[in-house]
Amino acid sequence: MKRAVVFGAGDGGLRVSYLLSDEFEIVAFVDNDPSKQGSKFLGKQVYSPKALQVIPYDLIIIGNIHGEQVMVQLRELGISDSVVVDYYQNEIFNVRTATLKLVADEIHSRRLHGSVAELGVFRGDFAREIGRVFPQRTFYLFDTFEGFSESDIKTEMAFGYSDSRIGEFSATSEELVLHKIPDPNRCVVRKGYFPETSNGLEEEFVFVSLDVDLFAPIYAGLQYFYPRLVSGGYIFVHDYNSSRFHGTKEAVNRFRAEYSVPCVPIPDLCGSIIITKP
């Protein structure tokens, strides 16, 4: 079995561990964060990158989004590019998007009715993919377009769910998002704080993406959308296995316990979980 060292003891490293072939064994992680060095991640020791000069390995896998900087760092340590794979630079196949396409095919083949929605749009990159696979559906976009709210951050801090900040993820706009979506005239933007922005909406949904990171809006989103989800519909919840946003998993697990909903995790970035309705 070949030995792999993963550069990145976080969400990217977790994702690599799920997808790595059984031909490889992860023998260690390295990370530039001093607070992680000396600890264990997924049962393996986390080292400083300088330790790569003594750790035996066959392959180094870059498991974070700073691949170009890491490549420079590795070269400075005398490591050849030939033993390095940058997971994100090589990821021409996206697990989350591929799963979305499969789900959309299933929905279309079963002729299920219902609109689609995303709660937590940010800059519209995943909304663009949703729009592509559901070209004929009314598409509801829920977001403050001002980043995290003060009330939600207070909840995060009170329970230690994350280190999020008020206004984080505010670098966006309605115009930016709508410009990315095919046929934006079918989109309905609900700007403001959820669930207040759902007031007066009488709609059934066949697909929903929840990507709001924090406990309170994730839980509110599940409470609102699941009862309005048609039989056979799907809800994607991003960041379920995030190493930063722990409130997402708490919200989903609380909802699962209360309503016994079926869920399936997938190994995309930050570990989404998919909820379906029988």
d(CA 7, CA 70): 8
CATH placement of domain 95-277: 3.40.50.150
At the top level of CATH, the class of 2-91 is alpha beta
CA–CA distance, 189 with 183 (Å, rounded to integer)? 14
Helix (H) or strand (E) holding 208: strand 205-210
> What is the reported pTM?
0.83
210-264 pLDDT, tens per residue? 999 999 999 999 999 999 999 999 999 999 999 899 999 999 999 999 999 999 9
Residue 132's contacts (CB-CB under 8 Å, 6 or more residues apart) are 182
Owner of token pair 């170009």: 68
User: What is the per-residue pLDDT across 29-50, written as a single tens digit (0 to 9) for each?
Assistant: 999 999 999 999 999 999 999 9
**Dihedral, CA atoms, 164, 166, 168, 174, nearest 10 degrees?**
140
H runs (alpha helix) in the chain = 11-19, 67-76, 95-109, 125-133, 150-159, 174-180, 215-225, 246-259
Give me the pLDDT at residue 43, please.
97
Structure-token pair, residue 195 = 């669930």
Determine the pLDDT at residue 270.
84
Tokens of 89: 């630079």
Whether 95-277 and 2-91 are alike in CATH topology: the answer is yes
Compute the distance between CA of residue 13 and CA of residue 34 in angstroms, rounded to an integer.
16
C-beta of residue 1 within 8 angstroms of C-beta of residue 25: yes
Strands 44-47 and 59-62, bridge-based pairing: unpaired
Each domain of the chain, given as residue ranges in start order, spans: 2-91, 95-277
The Cβ of residue 123 has, within 10 Å, a number of other Cβ atoms equal to: 15
Q: What gap in Å lies between CA 238 and CA 248, rounded to an integer?
A: 8
Q: b/e per residue, 30-66, with b = 16+ CB within 10 A?
A: bbbeeebbeeebeebbbbebeebeeeebebbbbbbbb
pLDDT tens digits, 164-202: 999 999 999 999 999 999 999 999 999 999 999 999 999
| pLDDT score for 93 | 67
- Residues 6 or more apart in contact with residue 210 via CB below 8 angstroms: 118, 119, 120, 218, 221, 222, 225, 235, 236, 237, 238
How far is residue 38's CA from residue 256's CA, in Å, rounded to a whole number? 35
Q: And the tokens for 147?
A: 């980043």
